[in-house]
Structure 1
Amino acid sequence: MTGTTGFDYTLTRSLDAPVHAVWQAWTIADDYAKWASAEEVVLDVRPGGAWSSVMVIPGGARVPLTGTYIEVEENKRLVMGMNVPGRDEPALMTMDLAADGEGTKITLSQTFDTAEDRDQAEAGSNMLLDGLTAFLATS
């Protein structure tokens, strides 16, 4: 068997903000914390750099997350690995940005081993994009 098999999703949204503003929202810890419902955010945005945060999910539960940046192409692409308990390999998420008139087209994509993991991550990514959209509208 060759290639990557699994359960994947791709979300695309048009954001009413220039590419550099969207990039900064993802790569500046204070900005990320504001829209991602995260605390204790540390972002070392470079290939091999580590990131960590504590997500505060609805209901108040706190979920610590850690990972590394795999690919960093400023104002264009981030590939982030997230450490998942019980998995040898990190879960990868790709964020692509493209100018869309005055705004930005953002695309998030991931692939998982199970439909359940994919559905959970897709719901989480939709929540992230909702938070990002609201943050950019007030910035």
Structure 2
Amino acid sequence: MNVTTPTDREIVLTKEFAAPRQLVFDAHTKPELLKRWFGPHDWRLAVCEIDLRPGGTWYYLMRSTAGAEMTLRGSYVEITPPARLVTTESNVDCDARAEHESLATLELVEHAGGTTLTNTLRFPTKEIRDAVLASGMDRGVGEGFERLAVLLAGAPEASPPPRDLKCALRPGE
């Protein structure tokens, strides 16, 4: 995974996957796939709620094997399957981000042999961007992308998620 900071309020993550664009898009929008890869190696989605429509919301509760929790939530701004997904995001457990929303723009470009994923994270301030960089997010996202690559390749997951996980679409979806 390549991580750059093109402006003082942005982080851009780029990763190549050996999979079709539609499958990579589905892995970002379908709870049954998200719960198999999202987060670092020692974290799993305990709750994953998705209302996949412009104006709809999403909510993830991540739990580490040590019992720590992290809550991420946001709303869908733009959904253009399978090429683009724009969402807001806040991390209620991070003091710097709890009251602030970031904008995440996921772009998927298919090419011979796979898909290039580019995720541009735009933060309200440089201080919040710097706090996110200092948090080790590159390790967490990188490990999540490693798990995603395994999922996309169709290989069995190294460690299955705990049985008590709940990850489902919201009613009506």
* TM-score of Structure 1 vs Structure 2, range by shorter chain: 0.7 to 0.9
Contact 1:8 1:110 in 2 (8 A): yes
Q: Does the aligned pair in 2 maintain the 1:8–1:118 contact within 8 Å?
A: no
Aligned counterparts, 1:6-45, within 5 A: 6-36=8-38, 37-45=44-52
Cα RMSD of the aligned pairs, angstroms, is 2.1
Of 92, 106, 131, the residue aligned with 1:116 is 131
Percent sequence identity over aligned pairs: 27
- Is the 8 Å Cα contact of residues 61 and 71 (structure 2) preserved in structure 1? yes
The equivalent residue for 1:98 is: 109
Q: Secondary structure at the match of 1:17?
A: coil
C-alpha distance in 2, partners of 1:94/1:57?
26
Paired positions, count:
135
Q: Do 1:43 and 1:51's aligned partners in 2 also have CA atoms closer than 8 Å?
A: yes
TM superposition shift of 1:65: 1.8
| Amino acid paired to 1:135 | L
Tell me the CA shift for residue 34 of structure 1: 0.9
Q: Does 1:126 align with 2:133?
A: no
Cα distance change, pair 22–39 in 1 and its aligned pair in 2 (3 A):
same
Specify the code of the residue in structure 2 equivalent to 1:43: I
Deviations 1:43-79 (A, max 9, x none): 1111111001111246441212211111111101111
Q: Distance in 2 between matches of 1:8 and 1:81?
A: 14
Corresponding residue SS for 2:32: helix
Larger fraction in helix: 1
Give, in whole Å, the separation in 1 of the partners of 2:118 and 2:109: 9
- Structure 2 segments unaligned to the other structure (5+ residues): 1-6, 39-43, 156-173
1:80 is aligned to 87
Give the conservation status (yes or no) of the 8 Å contact 2:75–2:88: yes
Name the aligned partner's letter for residue 154 of structure 2: T
Q: CA deviation at 1:103?
A: 1.1
Change (3 A) 1:81 1:17: same
Cross-structure match for 1:135: 151
CA distance in structure 2 between the partners assigned to 1:83 and 1:59 by the alignment = 23
